[in-house]
Amino acid sequence: MRNALVVLALFKAGAAGPILVALAAGLFVFPYVLFSATAGQLADSNDKSRLIRLLKWAELVLMGVAALGFLLDSVPILLLVLVALGVQASFFGPLKYGILPDHLRPNELLAGNGLIEATTFLAILTGTMAGGWLVLNRNGAAIISSVGLGVAALGLLAALPIPLAPPRGVIRAVDWRILRATNAVVRQALENRAVWPPILGISWFWTLGATLIAQFPVVAKVTLGAEGEVVSLFLTMFSLGIGAGSLLCVALLRNRASPRLAVVALLGISLFTWDFAATCSNAQGLVSVSAVVASPTGWRILLDLVLLSACGGFFSVPLYAEIQRRARPDWRARTVAANNVLNAAFMVAGAVVAAALAAAGVAAPHILMLTALINLPAAFAAWLWLRPVPEID
């Protein structure tokens, strides 16, 4: 839905289109900073399965409003829905990850997180490709509206049989003062010496991902001079790599996660990001999908994309499992909420730095190369900080 809105804004809002695109991204991410702490408190203080069902009902209603917005070609309605979906997603995140330890054994957490990571990025891939293509077709708005409602309905049906997941330990009152609650949740998480290293690792992962995804369209259009379909191809390979890496991580580690393996994954991200940027800088004639797949250089670029994103999946999945395993059971959803807040803050900081470099005239491939170099000290820090710790009861 978000990508369909972006394309609709670009093609139907005239000169204001690019502004609306940037606004759409900000409107979706901002609620994570604002409401994650409250979401974590609610999740730790209530039955998580019940809250999940309530949020799925809310999603179904929002998809109905979105359908109205698409059928009316109303960007204001869709922007309002986007804000509401961001709020819904910010409340769903702590529940989604916080409920796993309630229903999975410790040695099953890696597989559970791998499946969530893989299916999440495959869903993003499907939505990105289908949403952007359908919204500009003749019956695209009606199809998108129907699909959105159908997916929301399926999500609700899937949530109905989720077993109960009542709160554990001390039940604390929810602090509805957003800024104070956010500060308290983040501070509490960072004071847990076992939890904050994987949280910082996940935040760095999302900073890398946001920076890379933002530069792919620029590399395709400006560096390669390619058509829009090449951007879709790049994003497709990136999403497939994340999904494959997440599932491969589960298969290879066999539920015996070692957080220090994240170091190898970070080194892989640097290596393949550098090679992708350097190869694109020297590539010629890759202006279409057919040209990319017909060229050895094109296949090298696509392989770099798959491998660097697979390393991303291999990096993030064990760390999510470590956050769940190391957090106190009565503070688990709050810990996930703190992770979400820091993720959003890191992503914004990374976007600001990348935008400043672009404004200074630094080319997209050079931004990617610089990202690859900065990632090397992060790998060294991961080696120092991501030490195995005993499970918290």
Query: How far is residue 23's CA from residue 186's CA, in Å, rounded to a whole number?
Result: 26
User: Quick one: pLDDT at residue 225?
Assistant: 85
| CA proximity to 235, closest of 306, 140, 324, 153 | 306
CB neighbours of 199 closer than 8 A, spacing ≥ 6? 189, 190, 323, 335, 338, 339, 342
Check: CB of residue 168 under 8 Å from CB of residue 330.
Answer: yes
pLDDT band at residue 392 under the 50/70/90 scheme: very low
The superfamily CATH assigns to domain 2-164+175-385 is MFS general substrate transporter like domains (1.20.1250.20)
Mean pLDDT, range 93-116, rounded to an integer: 80
Average pLDDT, the chain: 80
Collect all residues with Cβ–Cβ distance below 8 Å to 85 and sequence separation of at least 6. 1, 2, 28, 59, 62
Region of residue 225 (phi > 0: left; psi between -120 and 50: alpha; otherwise: beta): left
pLDDT of residue 44: 82
Lowest mean pLDDT among 113-127, 248-262, 267-281: 248-262
At 300, is the pLDDT very low, low, confident or very high (cuts 50, 70, 90)?
A: very high
Of 108-122, 202-216, 248-262, 321-335, the range with the highest mean pLDDT is: 202-216
Indicate the domain borders of the chain.
2-164+175-385
The predicted structure's pLDDT at residue 18: 47
- Closest by Cα among 138, 187, 152, 181 to 59: 152
Question: Rounded to an integer, what distance in angstroms lies between the CA atom of residue 310 and that of residue 245?
Answer: 4
Which residues lie below 8 Å from residue 354, measured CB to CB, with a gap of 6+?
Answer: 211, 214, 215, 367
- In which element (H, E) is residue 88 found? helix 75-98
Q: Is the pLDDT of residue 169 over 90?
A: no
pLDDT tens for each residue of 334-354: 888 888 888 888 887 887 788
Give the pTM. 0.74
- Furthest-apart CA atoms within the chain: distance in Å: 63
pLDDT tens for 23-75 read 666 667 778 778 888 888 888 888 989 999 999 999 999 999 988 887 887 87
Distance (Å, rounded) from C-alpha 58 to C-alpha 89? 11
Q: Which residue has the higher pLDDT, 258 or 354?
A: 354
Q: What is the pLDDT of residue 389?
A: 52
Taking residue 170's Cβ as centre, other Cβ atoms within 10 Å add up to 10
Angle, helices 2-12 vs 17-45, to 10°: value is: 160
The predicted pLDDT at position 353 comes to 82
Residue the block writes with tokens 């991580």: 249
Amino acid at 76: P
What does the alpha-carbon distance between residue 157 and residue 154 come to, in Å, rounded to a whole number? 5
pLDDT mean over 177-192 = 80
Please give the distance of CA 223 from its chain centroid, rounded to a whole number. 26
**Gap between the Cα atoms of 67 and 143, Å rounded:** 9
Contact in structure between 211 and 312 (CB atoms under 8 Å): no
* Cα radius of gyration rounded to whole Å, the chain: 21
Q: How many Å apart are CA 343 and CA 201, to the nearest integer?
A: 9
Q: What span, in angstroms and rounded, lies between the C-alpha atoms of 295 and 11?
A: 32
**393 has a pLDDT exceeding 60:** no
114 vs 278, higher pLDDT: 278
CA distance linking residue 237 with residue 301, whole number of Å: 10
